[in-house]
Amino acid sequence: MHEPKPMVNPPTSFIRTKWTKLDQYISIALFILHFLCIFAPFYFNWHAFWVSFALYVITGLSISVSYHRNLAHKSFELPKLLEYFFAYCAAHALQGDPIDWVSTHRCHHQFVDTERDPHSPIQGFWFSHILWLFDSYTLTKRVCPKYFTDFKKIERSIIIWFSKHGRPDNVRDLEKQAFYRFIHKTYLLHHVAFAVLLYEVGGLPFLIWGTCVRTVVVLHITFMVNSVCHIWGKRRWNTKDLSRNNWLVGLLAFGEGWHNNHHAFEYSARFGIEWWEYDPGWYVIRFLQAIGVATHVKSPSQIHKQRLVIHKPETPSIGIQ
């Protein structure tokens, strides 16, 4: 295998000639979330802080364990009720419903760091970090080109804010299940209901810290896996992409920062392969396996690791403009 070419394409322009209504909805929602974080110091109390921290752990860890390892890569299996519970917790991270998230991620792995990748830094750091969210027209053509239709119907639906235009063809395993179809169709309502619940329990402090601050933090930590972990870090394994292991992202994102490990062995439930590679997502899966709940837990074989290990000095990170 050869080191991927450090080619950097001109970043996608933030100001395009046409913004779809979906792009407008997403940009308005994220602007409001970020703007309200300004008021967080004025509504600080320790109860609100710990609620925010607990929800950061629950939603962030569920993104890693459920959306990523369980649903996207099928690296282990759970009883359906427990699978749905973890997926519902992950849905409250405001990163999309299970069908859309898994579809986009599977597309990322299929076309990683190429023109078809939904969020590669070859188009610029900020594109891979967040700007790809505001380009649903291009995202649809990359993720589900066979179903690039029906714009008006989706745009009229304010309920499905974070859905792509069209139907993906790489998540039929999820689309067959009524639970995931229900979350897909009613996604925004769950966030509104939870925000109202937080407000009723703890007023504005709980709303701002439990919804706005927590959501913004989890979003950007997850986005760092797409951007930072394809630019800065170490490459231990000889993969055909720009993925890198970044210990800081691994610490913040519940093990997701061991990204070169993941791209080398994407079927593996364990991202932190060495004992010192902090991987809370793996610890949860191991606990579930120990009590007999998680089954068919996958991990890389020694032969596979020997085949991909790099026996040469680290290559420098690419320069992203």
146-163 residues labelled b (16+ CB within 10 A) or e (exposed): eeeeebeebbeeeebbbb
In a domain, 242, yes or no: no
DSSP states along 176-188:
TSHHHHHHHHSHH
DSSP state of 33: H
Q: How confident is the model at residue 312 (pLDDT cuts 50, 70, 90)?
A: low
Neighbours of 201 (CB within 10 A): 12
In a domain, 120, yes or no: yes
Per residue in 210-224, pLDDT tens? Answer: 999 999 999 999 999
Contacts of 144 (CB under 8 A, 6+ apart): 103, 164, 166, 167, 168, 169
Per residue in 36-91, pLDDT tens? Answer: 999 999 999 999 999 999 999 999 999 999 999 999 999 999 999 999 999 999 99
Rounded distance between C-alpha atoms, residue 225 and residue 294, angstroms:
25
The answer on pLDDT for 155 being more than 60 is no
Closest to 70 (Cα-Cα) out of 227, 282, 275, 274? 282
- Number of domains comprising the chain: 1
The answer on pLDDT for 102 being more than 50 is yes
Rounded distance between C-alpha atoms, residue 42 and residue 62, angstroms:
30
In a domain, 298, yes or no: no
Where helices occur in the chain by DSSP H, the ranges are 21-36, 46-62, 80-91, 98-110, 125-129, 136-143, 151-156, 172-175, 178-185, 187-207, 214-226, 247-252, 259-264, 280-290, 302-308
Q: Which amino acid, residue 57?
A: V
pLDDT of residue 158: 45
pLDDT of residue 263: 97
pLDDT of residue 316: 46
Closest to 226 (Cα-Cα) out of 240, 246, 211, 209? 246
| Crossing angle (nearest 10°) for helices 136-143 and 98-110 | 70
Domain range holding 162? 21-235
In a domain, 30, yes or no: yes
The answer on pLDDT for 152 being more than 80 is no
Chain-centroid distance of CA 87 in Å reads 13
In a domain, 275, yes or no: no
pLDDT of residue 193: 97
In a domain, 129, yes or no: yes
Q: How confident is the model at residue 320 (pLDDT cuts 50, 70, 90)?
A: very low
Per residue in 216-268, pLDDT tens? Answer: 999 999 999 999 999 999 999 999 899 999 999 999 999 999 999 999 999 99
Please, what is the Cα angle at 185 between 184 and 189, to 5 degrees? 100
Helix (H, G, I), strand (E, B) or coil at 147: helix
257-290 residues labelled b (16+ CB within 10 A) or e (exposed): bbbbbbbbbbebbbbbbeeebbbbbbbbbeebee
The answer on pLDDT for 208 being more than 60 is yes
The answer on pLDDT for 1 being more than 50 is no
| Crossing angle (nearest 10°) for helices 46-62 and 80-91 | 130
Percent above pLDDT 90 for the chain: 74
Closest to 66 (Cα-Cα) out of 84, 40, 49? 84
Chain-centroid distance of CA 135 in Å reads 17
Of 130-134, 208-212, 315-319, minimum mean pLDDT range? 315-319
In a domain, 62, yes or no: yes
In a domain, 199, yes or no: yes
Contacts of 113 (CB under 8 A, 6+ apart): 4, 120, 121, 122, 230, 241, 242
